[in-house]
Structure 1
């Protein structure tokens, strides 16, 4: 629907609210409402709608996906998340046996801008609740996204070096993946709450964040495989790992400062690398291990990242 902008004072512009919406939420003159910027759009919320910013889930019944759902609720923008749990119950979480409440606390600690607010019991059910402690600021997106890239670059270099030296770095990889996931989730929370300042790019940023986080997961699985099975990596595969690390760093550089010649060159080199790696896989006749599979997945995610970098710079092609 269209609304005409009105002059409501010497330095104030106003837009009227649709009456059916006003009546639905029983709004009155002088009542406060929430107004949030979402790129080129504005989102208006009543107090009643703001109350919907809380969510609850039963961790026991949803395990092993419960922590993922907590993360999804956080990314969706909820300001309060209540997790119901069973006292003294133990679960397997990220390869370790822990108490359910400790798993919840660990997951809550992962949520940037949130803090554990309350532990209690309601209707004979124990719960832990986390609450937003700092408002999400859309101006934080660019710095946070760049930080996500830096975490991933560090992780890629870390895993490559460890494989070269046949070194177990599971604990370091675990922390690196946690940083990547934390930063990716916070970026997504900003986008869900406000969109990107260039709103047409919002969806591409969602997907780009997912690509970067997925690469981080793949590197973690590689470190996990090395930790559990002491998989030896030959020199040829190590060279592919070195290329992957370089591709990530180069794509980050192009993201920060778009260069058409550089992205063309990177696209070509990545395409040739993927074809070369596919040939190696076919030649191995199914003898490849999980490390090789995850490395191949990293190359495919990188190619998708390149496609999104073209989109984010669509103005370059404007006549």
Structure 2
């Protein structure tokens, strides 16, 4: 929904209820069916809003979101990763997911540079290095986000997760180590899509869903489900013996629960969610009780599958919130 801005952008009725963003506005009637409010002058100046410009209005359950057609604006950010180890790439990826379009990176050695370049290539769609010196990199978004494609991208995450579940089952049945390695690499696709989707949520929001925070959490947990299948494939890759029939059956049951979860996400009903939780709790009770009887090599992969099903069960609150 777009609205043209007229010259009633003023601050005559502005009364700030906090020191930051909460403000009150009086509603003015123009004609028999048109109600208007004024935009805060500070916000209008910050976003260079002039008479005749258009802004986007997005109705939300909790209120009305107003933003420019360009999307939410994020300032340029400088990130100093000199001397950092494990947190360096994570800090950079966090800025990407937050929505920043331009980042100046300070580094001091080739290892730090290599970690960031790997993160850009594997996890940050649309980012490219535009300039570089001995200790700085300028990174910029060179391809724009498409909020309209969000649903397609979200379905792609589920598609890749489904592929991983099926291919993991096939690999385990044949104890195919080459297939395990391929499944491990597939996790990169899930990570990249999940990062891109979270960036879209932070930068543009999504009017088709009840809650942006809940949607962001769902995407984050989908990525973690991918990580659990990644770890399961890694565990089987290290085995000296093929997986037992009991472990393969536990994997197949886990995959069925994931498929039920996917169906609930796209064809929601309370009955379906209730059935999903019953499946999860029955699985968790049965498999936990059997842990002490498992061969030693089955214990770690079984724990990974237990964690997978527990994570799916824990997402019931997010699903409820998105469908409230």
Please tell me whether residue 114 in structure 1 is matched to residue 126 in structure 2.
Answer: yes
1:141 aligns with 2:150: yes
- Superposition TM-score, scaled by structure 2 size: 0.77
Contact 2:128 2:141 in 1 (8 A): no
- Deviation by residue 1:243-279 (Cα, 9 ceiling, x = unmatched): 1111212221222222444333332122101111111
Check whether the contact 1:36–1:44 (CA below 8 A) recurs between aligned residues: yes
Does the Cα contact within 8 Å between 1:251 and 1:306 map onto a contact in 2? no
Q: Which runs of 5+ in 1 are unaligned?
A: 91-99, 315-319
Matches within 5 A, 1:81-100: 81-87=103-109, 89-90=110-111, 100=112
Deviation at residue 236 of structure 1 after TM alignment: 1.0
Say whether 1:237 aligns with 2:247.
Answer: yes
Q: Sort the Cα spacing of 1:38 and 1:284 in 2 relative to 1 into closer, same or farther, 3 A.
A: farther
Q: Rate the CA distance shift 1:285–1:39 in 2: closer, same or farther, 3 A.
A: farther
Match of 1:153 in 2: 162
- The Cα shift of 1:202 comes to 2.0
**Distance across 2 between alignment mates of 1:197 and 1:206:** 13
1:37 CA drift (Å): 5.6
**Does residue 78 of structure 2 align to residue 62 of structure 1?**
no
**1:232 and 1:15 mapped to 2: Cα distance?**
68
Distance 1:219 1:32 in 2: 52
Moved over 6 A (4+): 25-29, 31-34
CA RMSD of aligned residues (A): 3.5
TM-score when scaled to structure 1? 0.78
**Structure 2, unaligned runs of 5 or more:** 1-22
Distance 1:285 1:236 in 2: 10
User: Counterpart in 1 of 2:237?
Assistant: 227
Aligned-residue offset at 1:289:
3.6
CA distance in 1, matches of 2:254, 2:236: 18
| CA deviation profile, 1:165-216 (whole Å, cap 9, x unmatched) | 1122344123311111111111111211232315642222222112211110
State how far apart, in whole Å, the 2-side matches of 1:77 and 1:105 are: 18
1:298 aligns with 2:314: no
Shift of 1:160: 1.8
